[in-house]
Amino acid sequence: MKYPIYLDHNATTPCSEEVIAAMLPFFGAHFGNAASKSHPYGWVAEQAVEDAREAIAQLIGAKSKELIFTSGATESLNLAIKGVFDLFSGEKQHYITCQTEHKAVLDSMAEIEQRGAEVSYLHVNSDGEVDLSLLEQSIQPHTKMICLMWANNETGVIHPIQEVAQIADKHGIIFLTDAVQAVGKIPVSTQGVHLMALSAHKLYGPKGVGALYVRHNHSLPKPLAQLHGGGHEKGFRSGTLNVPGIVGFGKAAQLRIQEMTEESNRLDGLRNRLEKGLLELPGVHRNGSMKNRLAHVSNLSFSGVEGEELLLKVNQQVAVSSGSACTSISPKPSHVLQAMGISSDLGRASLRFSLGKDTRAETVEHAVSCVKSVIEQLRNS
């Protein structure tokens, strides 16, 4: 099969060759269960898991004991949100999040609302930015958690996480951040953060493995487990560990520590080149703040075309998305763009371009040419 150009790295990234090589022995020769404490097969697997835990901890400035392995960021966010809700069961509870969060957060918040929690969904401005004064004004005496993503998956907008952490600390509130799109792309620190979700397949690791950072040695409590059956991962998440996936996650983290800064600078130049080429067309608009955003992400709206047809035709030559991969099956406009005040028609006619390690200057030039051709064709039909 002849694949189109791939510019959808926010949906998933290809495993690095080094990651695949690191994982392979743990499917065969070193196939042991990391929970098997009584023989060498288990010891080797357990040591590999702990080495990976240490590598990932270094990437985010944490202690290895503060990382809990999960099946991915969706599970991590469910564990964090529902685990905190269960912890305060029977109490009046209030949570603060944002309208532009990933569906894993929004749907989890909707679930605890059904179970009696109050949830405030912060508005954003036309650039997708949160008003920190509004955030602080939203805090109530029974607020248990602030949940705000580090970088938006659709626009690349980076939120002021350190300032949010200071607000949470000032009021003694648990702070959870979905750092999936930020980790391995920009410097990330756990300073002031109590809970952080991350995922391997967004940073050139395998699918099906993620982690939840749970801050230790702090007066604020930790979430209650949502999966039971063996007490794995310090009792936070039972289940046999995905040793090959965890090994791959650890290797990917090591590589991102080495590559992140130089790669970010390279992709910033290529992203700007892509935007310059497409913004030459009339009726093309950039969505999201230019001041604080990920270097590899561009979200553009194309007026005068029908969104579903635009996506279908562009994807024959350039693999992009209209928003989060988790919501790409829906014909509805992006909830992120709607929250930013973008009309439904323009929201549906928006494309997210997310570049990666395999993106080159010639890739970008070809993509610009393909998209321009499609836009001109649709507008003239």
Is 98 noted as a catalytic residue in this protein? no
Sequence-ordered list of residues with C-beta below 8 angstroms from that of 217, at least 6 positions apart, any chain:
none
Tell me if 286 sits within 8 A of 277, measured CB to CB: no
Kindly name the residue from 15, 98, 147, 326 that is annotated as catalytic: 326
Backbone angles phi, psi at 331, to 5 degrees: -75, -5
* Cα 3 from chain centroid (whole Å): 25
Residue bearing tokens 């801050």 = 215
Measured CA to CA, the distance from residue 261 to residue 186 in angstroms comes to 7
Quote the tokens at residue 237.
């998440």
Tell me if 170 sits within 8 A of 159, measured CB to CB: no
Measured CA to CA, the distance from residue 169 to residue 120 in angstroms comes to 19
Cα–Cα separations (whole angstroms), residue 319 to 232, 294, 376:
39, 19, 19
- Closest C-alpha among 231, 233, 240 to residue 208: 240
Q: Which residues are catalytic?
A: 326
